[in-house]
Structure 1
Amino acid sequence: MKQRQLGPYTVSAIGLGCMNLSHAYGAPPAPEVGEALIHRALDLGVTMFDTAALYGFGTNELLVGKALKAHRSEITLCSKGGMAGVSFPDGVKRVINGRPEAIRQNCEDSLARLGTDVIDLYYLHRWDKQVPIEDSVGALSDLVRAGKIREIGLSEVSATTLRKAHAVHPIAAVQTEYSLWTRNPEIAVLKACEELGTTFVAFSPVARGFLCGDLRDVSTLAVNDIRRAMPRFAADTYAANLPLLDAYQAIAREAGCTPAQLGLAWLLHKDNKLIPIPGTQNIRHLEDNIAAADVVLSAEQMQRLEALINPQTVKGPRYNAVNASEVDTEEFA
């Protein structure tokens, strides 16, 4: 496995996003299936594993902690706080809370579930816009000094917010959605990361399955699949985007790779410092994703891909109005 830098850590060029082993994309697999997939990732050379307090309202951290316990010294463990499940009379709900006391409690809870004394990289999952970013990052820096976490990350923030945070404490990583069909990081945050020495981590690098090429009918998505609330996966909008796939798959055949590998290879070629973290519930797909590190694309193929799938050719925003209000990323006009 090729290697890249994640803050002070040398990690696999492709990490593993563990969310969908417990959360978000329909019914999760049985825990033993998720654990087997994580072990297979280790076999393939993956050394960066990404989870969060939110995923499965803690169950993902329990799964990841158990699966990686015997390998803790060999891997870089990443989790997130500031957005977690909170119990209400009518059930557990997602709550964004960036107050220092909430961040401290989230971290303690994550450490217990992960079965570790320290988290290598701990992100603020969402900036709570009711709390100055300096206050939230100040709480995270206290956790660094206390030895609870080693490095600080931010998720779904703008270049302006990143710079404000970095002035309080060095930010090792920014994690945001980035793929051929979600190019928002190119507006400003990628440049800010380069200037500050912050690693960019790309989640949903195969466009939440669109770039895999085999999701043709969104009516087949499970009722609890989060994509059902995303505008690009509305039936009419998705149908309008489907014609992009034919030319895209033709480039994949030309490059001698699968469609998913093409999307990952585009990212790896686009920036030799960023790290994509694809997720999957399927070991065959995992093996396919990791092999993308060896795909070679020409400059001409990169240009054709970017001309084909970009903010002008993709229909629909990535988030609905509620979810868009929760993030701080730059948006195209």
Structure 2
Amino acid sequence: MKFVEVNGIKLSRLVIGTGDIKKWGGTEMLDQFAAAGGTAIDTAHQYREAEKMIGQWLRETGNRERMVILTKGAHHDDGSPGPRVNPEAIRKDLAESLERLGTDRIDLYALHRDDPSVPVGPVIEELNRHLEAGTVRAIGASNWTYLRIKEANEYASGHGLKGFMFNSVNLSLAKANEPRWEGCVSADEATADWHKANQLPLLSWSAQAGGFFSGLFSPEDRSHAEMVRVYYSEDNWERYRRAVKLAEEKQATANRIALAFVLNRPFPSGAIVGPRSEAELNDSLQAMNMDLTREQLEWLNLEREEPEE
């Protein structure tokens, strides 16, 4: 297992996502992930049943001390209607997440969505109160643009406070045509450049583009409306073809190549994955040990015409 650090917290570079935990039919996948050395779990206040199931699993297994919990709050569609990026929603969601998870602190706490009309000051001040209280160990943003994170961190620096310590947006080999869900943010070239310059850890959700590289989709099959809307493009199909070609050379899968692309960034990165079987989990685990050259990465991303000789 390989690791990344966020504010001194060491977590596995693979983070298991639990948005579909009910579809798993239980916590067996968490058992398999932990047995493989995984230490990071992604969830959210909005994933009500997931947080409860994780909390029960932590109690039954005694795994709380070795697991890093990443949960999120202040989502627009969670509880009261409308934008909820405010101190009151943060306090409410955090308190309820702590109770569901059966823990006295959240290791990594992220705001699930942004509301660009809200000043960053009160948000950063509220998050710092929880850092000081010890109920949160690191703060981050999920689906905030890097410009808003920069603004928040500049406010924090100017007021003797701590800024965002990690970012969680979509980063994958397949580039999203449009947000997968309302308010979601995908890392573009400017975002990647900013992360490289600042070395801020990025924990990518949908790191494998919702299974785009699994072989279950094709340009001719347009039956999956969401995949068509978000990922179907000629450039992405060319990225898919190149991933398949490189996978054949490396005796791997295209999915593994796509995940390795995310894990071979010039800044600290991790990947939130949602395996549906032990085989998929094992394939993702192997991606952590796959080194890709700069030339291979550029070729996969259509930045050069020929791969490395």
What is the Cα deviation at residue 2 of structure 1?
Answer: 1.7
Matched-pair contact (CA < 8 Å) for 1:206–1:263: yes
Q: Are 1:290 and 2:288 matched, yes or no? A: no
Matched-pair contact (CA < 8 Å) for 2:222–2:228: no
Equivalence map 1:137-286=2 (5 Å): 137-166=124-153, 167-168=155-156, 169-182=162-175, 185-216=187-218, 217-219=221-223, 221=224, 228=226, 231-232=229-230, 237=232, 242=237, 244-271=239-266, 273-286=268-281
Name the CA distance, whole Å, in 2 between partners of 1:243 and 1:192.
Answer: 26
Unaligned runs of at least 5 residues, structure 2: 157-161, 177-185, 305-309
What is the Cα deviation at residue 17 of structure 1?
Answer: 1.9
Unaligned runs of at least 5 residues, structure 1: 23-27, 89-93, 222-226, 310-333
Matched-pair contact (CA < 8 Å) for 1:54–1:84: no
TM-score by length of 2: 0.83
Aligned match of 1:49 in 21, 41, 44? 41
Name the CA distance, whole Å, in 1 between partners of 2:124 and 2:284.
Answer: 33
* CA deviation profile, 1:18-50 (whole Å, cap 9, x unmatched): 22224xxxxx232x2xx0001100011111111
TM-score by length of 1: 0.77
Q: Are 1:68 and 2:58 matched, yes or no? A: yes
* CA deviation profile, 1:200-219 (whole Å, cap 9, x unmatched): 11111111110222234452
SS at match of 2:288: helix
Cα 1:96–1:38 shift into 2, 3 Å: farther
* CA deviation profile, 1:53-79 (whole Å, cap 9, x unmatched): 122xx1111122222331111121110
SS at match of 1:54: coil
Aligned match of 1:81 in 48, 73, 77? 73
Matched-pair contact (CA < 8 Å) for 1:7–1:198: no
Structure whose residues are more often helix by fraction: 1
- When the two structures are aligned, how many residues end up with a matched partner? 286
SS at match of 2:20: helix
Task: Name the counterpart of 1:25.
Answer: none
Query: Given residue 119 of structure 1, which amino acid in structure 2 is its aligned partner?
Result: I
Aligned match of 1:132 in 119, 126, 130? 119
Matched-pair contact (CA < 8 Å) for 1:79–1:123: yes
SS at match of 2:173: coil
Task: Name the counterpart of 2:179.
Answer: none
Cα 1:96–1:71 shift into 2, 3 Å: farther
**Taking every aligned residue pair, what percent have the same amino acid on both sides?**
25
Aligned match of 1:37 in 7, 29, 49? 29
- Runs of 4+ with deviation above 4 angstroms: 84-88, 194-197, 237-244
Greater shift, 7-16 or 114-123, is seen at 7-16
Cα 1:213–1:308 shift into 2, 3 Å: farther
